[in-house]
């Protein structure tokens, strides 16, 4: 009989056996987790990138000083892309004797390609999504512009030679700046009326933009083709220059999903390793009989390998189908967040998951099967004849390295893999040491307890190495279950709390120094919290330590841009609550010495600066030198006014400044904001509520995806517990039969087994709580840049859950074994 024929017959005959089903379930879970997360990560990342592209109102924006030629639109259609164009210019808008500077944007049909324009029918009331663009001879105007011109919806204003009716209040457009450089309020009109204004002539300061959007690959190939005919004056802009907050949120979402996949895979590896022991042990007698009848070692190994291969194929197929169905389920739950214009899912995640599954299966199961070839034929007569052990540590280590490489290819996050794999290995080592100590202690302390407890404690001590391995398996399962049950909730809550209820939804900018008190009076009169004003001075950096910033070399790519951009400088006596000093210390509140500067951490890294370096700024034609005094970490997610560079008190008193403030209003906010912009026409109020909703939407949708994918980890953890018990089921069935034959009652045997698992569960639960706490702290701080808060419920859940889960899984796995009549076991 050939090895293949024998493998097929024996595989399908034994498919329903416990160890084969556990192995199959472990492989299927590993594949399902990796494929589902692979599919989801691809789609969610593309969806988040698309939302991040809203800051451009497109996937790609081409800016030009000249009108957009029709050839560009034709090229976009050739690559199946949607296109639109805008023309932006500053001008003075009139209403009777009143006038105001405004930023006019003429938009074509299809604008915006990404994101949504929001309008309202009354100043500072609830917004609605605009349908299309303004009709001809109609404009949508910023609330500040309407207040300055003292006009309402339906009134007429003059935009150059065009007399246009105000159709709605413009509250938000996706490509508006939320920075502090654009001070003029916005006005949108139909591009069909652009020439009617008479404002676009030769030499006019008009900025044209060509917008395209579609499938990512098509956008890339379009731009590659466009570069061949791109004029030197045209500048391309992609989302990387856009919203850092949306991009940061996207990275966190992907890390949540990837973390779940990594831990599910590691749990599956533990379940495979535990099940493979029994898979091999159950075949010792069969192999001994085969060898006594003349079977070769080649036949033994080939048939066992063939069974593993068939099991792997079946696991990959079932796991891939499950992963695909879960991806469809999650995409359906995410709704509009993951739209249908994304490319179809590819085969890449399936291939990576299949490769990882076979590495897991052969790496962690083959060491046990390799022993089969050395099974002595004498075992047919003597069941204590065992094959010599092989180096499982070497083979398992190589397998772990191979899986790590596969995970890195699939996920590409070296820091996550280092933290999770390193943490899990450290916890496993700690659990094994604790297991050996437990065995040693129980071997000396089994007196003074009842029969059931004595039997249970004796089992722990007598099994020695096997009991220590059970502690490791149970402990690892409990560790990751605790990590992704309780700590998962804490992580999601911490993430969601980065957008606090008090986060500002409006900015006031361009507030003059003498306007602060009168604005404060308006807020006080309307029973609103008086805003806190942060000073701001516009400056440019000239040199660093005497070296021209244009000639200096920087350690990071963005350093050149950071040094040569126009800087928003501020000063403060005390540090902002959303900032934290990470190097140096904050200056005294009464400091009055030479100018000092506090740098944001990323800016310091990009510029290659450290404490003591000298920075020279040009402010209003004058030079100012400041010394780097400390480095801060800034919570940009707070949406509070924050700065890359903050100077010491008095440093900027001699220079012209304006003030900004973040606002979170309740109640009569329409009345307050309207009064502010009517009485202070130079002050601009920027509504960022829609941007807050965008980031919060990403967090909520990504959290929902994590909740669904977490089910894989939950099932994998329970599978580890079941596999750990199932690995010793034959031995326990025999022991139970012997005890019952000698007169022990079934209830005593059950109580003894539960006592054994209670002790193991208590030790495993305690150490799992410790391991989960340490892993959670490392993951929260290093992977998600969030603050970790210890959860005492985790320790209670670890101890109670450890005892309960281990005892419950042990009883469920062994209840049939204990119930088998002793005569049946002894005859077998």
Q: Rounded distance, CA 696 to CA 667, Å? A: 22
Q: Rounded distance, CA 701 to CA 337, Å? A: 7
Residue whose token pair is 């061949």: 228
Helices (H), 371-446: 392-411, 414-444
Structure-model confidence comparison of residues 675 and 558, the more confident one: 675
- pTM for this structure? 0.60
Burial (Cβ within 10 Å: 0-12, 13-18, ≥19) of residue 581? middle
Q: Say whether 506 sits in a helix, a strand or coil.
A: strand
With cut-offs at 50, 70 and 90, classify the pLDDT of residue 241. very low
- Asked if the model's pLDDT at residue 327 lies above 70, the reply is yes
- Asked if the model's pLDDT at residue 242 lies above 50, the reply is no
Residues 6+ apart with CB under 8 A from 388: 371, 374
- Of 239-248, 354-363, 467-476, 739-748, the range with the lowest mean pLDDT is 239-248
Average pLDDT of the residues in 799-812: 79
Percentages of the chain per state (helix, strand, coil), in multiples of 5:
55, 15, 25
Res 558: pLDDT: 75
User: Which helix or strand (DSSP H or E) is residue 504 part of?
Assistant: none
Q: Phi and psi of 584, rounded to 5°?
A: 80, -155
In the chain, DSSP finds a helix count (H) and a strand count (E) of 23, 22
Q: Which of 635, 803, 787 is nearest to 721 (CA)?
A: 803
- Asked if the model's pLDDT at residue 15 lies above 70, the reply is no
User: Which helix or strand (DSSP H or E) is residue 571 part of?
Assistant: strand 566-571
Burial (Cβ within 10 Å: 0-12, 13-18, ≥19) of residue 1? exposed
Q: How far lies 713's CA from each of 267, 276, 729, 761, in Å?
A: 8, 20, 25, 19
Find the distance separating the first CA and the last CA of the chain, reported in whole Å: 27
Q: Do 246 and 335 meet the contact criterion of CB atoms below 8 Å apart?
A: no
Res 134: pLDDT: 95
User: Which helix or strand (DSSP H or E) is residue 76 part of?
Assistant: helix 70-78
DSSP state of 388: P
- Of 171-180, 363-372, 489-498, the range with the lowest mean pLDDT is 489-498
Of the ranges 83-87, 185-189, 507-511, 685-689, which is most confident?
83-87
Q: Which of 261, 264, 269, 327 is nearest to 716 (CA)?
A: 264
With cut-offs at 50, 70 and 90, classify the pLDDT of residue 32. confident
Q: Do 713 and 481 meet the contact criterion of CB atoms below 8 Å apart?
A: yes
- Of 472-476, 531-535, 619-623, 771-775, the range with the lowest mean pLDDT is 472-476
> Quick one: how far is CA 572 from the chain centroid?
34
By DSSP bridging, strand 614-619 and strand 566-571 are unpaired
pLDDT, tens digit, 9 for 90 and up, residues 295-312? 776 777 777 777 778 888
For 689, what's the count of Cα atoms within 13 Å in the CB-facing half-sphere? Answer: 16
Q: Do 223 and 76 meet the contact criterion of CB atoms below 8 Å apart?
A: no
Q: Rounded distance, CA 420 to CA 614, Å? A: 41
Q: Do 106 and 200 meet the contact criterion of CB atoms below 8 Å apart?
A: no
Q: Rounded distance, CA 668 to CA 581, Å? A: 38
- Of 92-106, 274-288, 297-311, 783-797, the range with the lowest mean pLDDT is 274-288
Q: Do 610 and 628 meet the contact criterion of CB atoms below 8 Å apart?
A: yes
Q: Which of 417, 433, 479, 424 is nearest to 770 (CA)?
A: 479
pLDDT, tens digit, 9 for 90 and up, residues 131-187? 899 999 999 998 878 888 888 899 999 999 999 999 999 988 888 754 444 557 889
Q: How far lies 613's CA from each of 191, 546, 565, 627, 757, in Å?
A: 51, 10, 19, 6, 62
Q: Which two tokens stand for residue 738?
A: 């012997």
Q: Say whether 562 sits in a helix, a strand or coil.
A: helix
Return the ∠ at Cα 47 (arms to 45 and 51), rounded to 5°. Answer: 110
Average per-residue pLDDT for the chain = 78
Res 382: pLDDT: 59
With cut-offs at 50, 70 and 90, classify the pLDDT of residue 240. very low
Q: Rounded distance, CA 237 to CA 244, Å? A: 15
pLDDT, tens digit, 9 for 90 and up, residues 702-735? 666 666 666 666 676 666 667 666 666 666 777 7
pLDDT, tens digit, 9 for 90 and up, residues 627-657? 999 999 887 767 778 899 999 999 998 898 8
Q: Which of 759, 730, 702 is nearest to 37 (CA)?
A: 702
Return the ∠ at Cα 810 (arms to 804 and 811), rounded to 5°. Answer: 90
Structure-model confidence comparison of residues 42 and 320, the more confident one: 320
Q: Is the dihedral of CA 57, 61, 66, 70 positive or negative?
A: negative
In this structure, which long-range contacts are made by residues 149-156, counting pairs with CB atoms below 8 Å and at least 24 apart in sequence?
A: 149/93, 149/94, 149/95, 149/98, 149/99, 149/100, 150/95, 150/98, 150/678, 151/95, 153/121, 153/122, 155/95, 156/95
Q: Phi and psi of 626, rounded to 5°?
A: -135, 150
Q: How far lies 96's CA from each of 149, 187, 698, 702, in Å?
A: 8, 18, 45, 51
pLDDT, tens digit, 9 for 90 and up, residues 85-139? 999 988 889 998 888 888 899 999 999 998 889 898 876 667 788 989 999 999 9
């Amino acid at each position: 009989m050939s090895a293949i024929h024998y493998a097929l017959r024996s595989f399908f005959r034994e498919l329903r056996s416990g160890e084969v089903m556990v192995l199959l379930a472990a492989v299927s879970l590993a594949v399902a987790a990796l494929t589902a997360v692979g599919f989801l990560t691809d789609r969610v990342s593309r969806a988040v990138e698309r939302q991040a592209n809203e800051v451009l109102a497109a996937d790609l924006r081409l800016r030009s000083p000249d009108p957009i030629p029709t050839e560009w639109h034709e090229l976009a259609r050739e690559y199946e892309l949607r296109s639109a164009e805008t023309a932006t210019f500053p001008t003075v808008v009139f209403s009777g004797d009143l006038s105001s500077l405004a930023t006019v944007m003429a938009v074509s049909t299809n604008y915006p390609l990404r994101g949504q324009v929001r309008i309202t029918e009354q100043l500072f009331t609830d917004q609605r999504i605009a349908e299309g663009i303004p009709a001809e001879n109609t404009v949508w105007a910023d609330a500040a512009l309407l207040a300055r011109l003292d006009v309402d919806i339906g009134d007429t204003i003059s935009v150059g030679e065009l007399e246009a009716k105000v159709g709605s209040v413009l509250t938000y457009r996706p490509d508006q700046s939320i920075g502090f450089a654009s001070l003029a309020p916005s006005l949108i009109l139909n591009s069909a009326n652009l020439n009617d204004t008479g404002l676009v002539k030769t030499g006019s300061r008009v900025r044209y933009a060509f917008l395209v959007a579609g499938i990512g690959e098509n956008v890339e190939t379009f731009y590659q083709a466009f570069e061949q005919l791109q004029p030197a004056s045209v500048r391309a802009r992609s989302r990387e220059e856009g919203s850092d907050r949306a991009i940061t949120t996207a990275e966190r979402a992907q890390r949540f999903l990837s973390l779940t996949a990594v831990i599910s895979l590691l749990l599956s590896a533990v379940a495979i390793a535990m099940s493979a022991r029994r898979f091999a042990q159950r075949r010792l007698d069969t192999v001994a009989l085969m060898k006594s009848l003349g079977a070769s070692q080649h036949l033994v190994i080939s048939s066992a390998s063939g069974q593993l291969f068939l099991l792997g194929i079946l696991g990959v197929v079932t796991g891939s189908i499950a992963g695909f169905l879960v991806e469809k389920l999650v995409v359906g739950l995410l709704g509009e967040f993951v739209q249908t214009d994304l490319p179809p899912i590819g085969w890449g995640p399936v291939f990576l998951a299949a490769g990882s599954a076979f590495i897991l299966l052969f790496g962690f199961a083959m060491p046990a099967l390799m022993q089969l070839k050395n099974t002595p034929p004498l075992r047919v007569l003597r069941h204590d004849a065992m094959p010599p052990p092989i180096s499982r540590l070497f083979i398992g280590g190589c397998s772990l390295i191979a899986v790590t490489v596969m995970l890195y290819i699939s996920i590409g996050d070296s820091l996550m893999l280092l933290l999770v794999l390193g943490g899990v290995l450290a916890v496993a080592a700690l659990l094994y040491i604790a297991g050996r100590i437990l065995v040693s202690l129980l071997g000396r302390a089994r007196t003074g307890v009842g029969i059931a407890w004595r039997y249970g404690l004796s089992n722990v001590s007598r099994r020695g190495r096997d009991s220590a391995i059970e502690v490791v398996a149970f402990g690892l399962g409990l560790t990751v279950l605790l990590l992704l049950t309780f700590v998962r909730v804490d992580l999601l809550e911490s993430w969601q709390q980065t957008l606090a209820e008090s986060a500002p939804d409006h900015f006031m900018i361009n507030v003059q120094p003498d306007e602060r008190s009168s604005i404060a009076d308006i807020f006080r009169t309307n029973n609103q919290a008086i805003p806190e004003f942060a000073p701001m001075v516009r400056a440019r950096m000239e040199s660093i330590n005497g070296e021209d910033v244009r000639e200096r070399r920087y350690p990071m790519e963005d350093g050149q841009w950071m040094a040569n951009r126009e800087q928003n400088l501020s000063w403060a006596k005390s540090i902002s609550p959303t900032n934290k000093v990470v190097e140096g210390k904050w200056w005294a509140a009464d400091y009055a010495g030479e100018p000092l500067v506090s740098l944001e951490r990323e800016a310091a890294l990009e510029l290659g600066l450290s404490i003591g370096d000298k920075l020279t700024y040009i402010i209003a034609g004058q030079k100012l030198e400041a010394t780097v005094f400390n480095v801060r970490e800034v919570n940009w997610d707070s949406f509070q006014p924050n700065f890359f560079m903050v100077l010491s008190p008095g440093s900027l008193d001699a220079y012209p400044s304006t003030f900004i403030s973040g606002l979170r209003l309740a109640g009569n906010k329409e009345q307050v904001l309207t009064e502010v912009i009517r009485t202070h026409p130079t002050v601009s109020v920027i509504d960022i509520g829609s941007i807050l909703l965008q980031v919060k939407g990403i967090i909520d949708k990504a959290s929902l995806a994590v909740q669904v994918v977490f089910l894989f980890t939950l099932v994998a953890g329970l599978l580890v517990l079941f596999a750990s018990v199932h690995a010793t089921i034959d031995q326990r069935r025999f022991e139970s039969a012997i005890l019952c034959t000698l007169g022990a009652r079934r209830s005593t045997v059950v109580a003894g087994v539960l006592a054994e698992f209670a002790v193991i569960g208590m030790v495993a639960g305690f150490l799992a709580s410790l391991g989960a706490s340490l892993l959670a702290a490392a993951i929260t701080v290093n992977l998600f840049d969030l603050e970790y808060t210890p959860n005492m419920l985790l320790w209670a859940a670890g101890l109670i859950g450890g005892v309960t889960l281990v005892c419950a899984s042990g009883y469920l796995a062994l209840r049939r074994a204990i119930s088998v009549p002793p005569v049946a076991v002894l005859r077998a």
